[in-house]
Amino acid sequence: MNIGNWFRIMCLSLLSLFFVIAAGCDGQPQVAVGERHSHSAVSRVESALAAIELFAEHNIFITVDEKGALAQAAKLDRQHEQGQVSGPLHGMLIAVKDNIHIAGVANTAGTPSLKGMIPTVDAEVVARLKAAGAIILGKSNMHELAYGITSNNAYFGAVGNITDKEYFAGGSSGGSAVAVAAGITNASLGTDTGGSVRIPAALNGLVGFRPTTERYPSDGLTLISQTRDTVGTIARTVGEVALLDAVLTGQALDGQTADLIGLRLGVPKAYFYDNLEPAIAEQMSALLTALERAGVDLVYEDIGRVAELNERVGLPIVLYETGKLLDAYLKAHLPDVSMATLVEAVVSPDVKAIMQSVLRGDITYAIYADALNNHRPILQKAYRDYFNEHHVEAIIFPTTPLTSRPIKGTIDAVELNGQQVPTFASYIRNTDPSSNAGVPGLSLPLGTTDKGFHFGFEIDGPKNTDLRLLAIAAAIEKLDIGSE
């Protein structure tokens, strides 16, 4: 049975279990934050634990912190009985990607050599969520060492797409996305280097937010790039993402939405709209039409040299920084494990090849410095100039050029419009440039194929305009896009 149909049946029979489902069992459940207070936190955690078992074949979690989650829930219930609410996230269930530290819970980063890494202190992002009343359910599965976009983890198991477990979830924060899509958690934390939050969000019908680099604290993370990495959030609605952003930054959107009338959005057709899967191309066209009807001024201009500049920046920076960061991480947390030992134990073949390149030092300091100090500033200037010269507040494009593909046989290549194309480069094509520029990007659900596979669209804004980008997204989210 198709997992989408099975999910509908499960919803109807187990509706009382899934506190997060507020409307409809159509494979795209919606969260009502207020519902968190209508049942005990303990019962909601117990329901979520039962749901994890139901979705066991999707390999969503690496570690479930049952004891910790139930203890936090019991504490919240005691507060609730006394008429107290611990914070704006009171009772919200959160999954945390397994490269973000939770005190007392193993932090594997999806690789066997780190199974013995037990942090003693929460990452700051986790501490802020807990202080606001969130319940951390556990550590979600991911592409090994965050070096991939499918979450096909050969050691802990491939994360299955919400529509069909035989198809990949996207990555590298795949478990974080499917935890939300399956109705197990309200929201999740992931990390995003070049698309690792936005890609799985798009492929599972969710909202995924990559903030401006350095907007969120980055301590307590198993980083692979200090220049490019950031924590990101995944939820069902822009409002929930904005709520998490407010907790993590102290800057509240307060329900604001942008006025679409007169809003100027850039549409960079060249590069970002090339070679799209037909369903995505059709629905993007419908979205642009709906935006124009709503009063948005679409500016059809391209970002100059974006492909060339992005290629010169992306991999040289991350490959060089990975070697330095992981070596320092091991020395700080697992001094008995060397980089050579870690690389030797990597199980996923695509990650193994990358990590062997890192270990060899294929990217020299000269190459890295050129990418960081010369090419990246030019790419960042290209984005600034685009926003300023065309007077646009954001750009809009498909998050990925294609939908999910089967897990088996797609490590290196996937089919797109009758041709075999490289898996990694194809899925990351549209999300990578803004990551390298360090600007905020947010993926929203756009539609599904006739087989039920999800895809999304992204809006990127200038650096440090995160709240404005969220307000624009909240307005677009309300549109009835339909199809042409």
Contact 98, 112 (CB under 8 A): no
Query: What burial letters (b/e) apply to 151-188, b meaning 16+ CB within 10 Å?
Result: bbbbbbbbbbbbbbbebbbbbbbbbbbbbbbbbbbbbb
Contact 169, 404 (CB under 8 A): yes
The number of CA neighbours under 13 Å toward the Cβ of 236 is: 20
Tokens 């996230």 locate to 89
C-alpha 421/C-alpha 287 separation (Å) is 26
Q: Which listed residue (172, 188, 225, 426) is catalytic? A: 172
C-alpha 463/C-alpha 175 separation (Å) is 28
Contact 322, 363 (CB under 8 A): no
Q: What one-character-per-residue DSSP string does 63-97 give?
A: EE-HHHHHHHHHHHHHHHHTT---STTTT-EEEEE
C-alpha 408/C-alpha 414 separation (Å) is 10
Q: What one-character-per-residue DSSP string does 340-406 give?
A: HHHHHH--SHHHHHHHHHHHHT-S-HHHHHHIIIIIHHHHHHHHHHHHHHTT-SEEEEES-SS---B
- Give me 431's structure tokens: 């999300």
Q: Which listed residue (173, 196, 348, 434) is catalytic? A: 196
**Helix/strand/coil percent split, the chain, to 5:** 40, 15, 40
Contact 105, 122 (CB under 8 A): no
> Is 172 a residue of the active site?
yes
Contact 466, 211 (CB under 8 A): yes
C-alpha 196/C-alpha 172 separation (Å) is 5
Q: Which listed residue (97, 139, 165, 352) is catalytic? A: 97
Give the angle subtended at the CA of 431 by the CAs of 426 and 435, to the nearest 5°.
130
Tokens 């659900």 locate to 445
Q: Which residues are catalytic?
A: 97, 172, 196
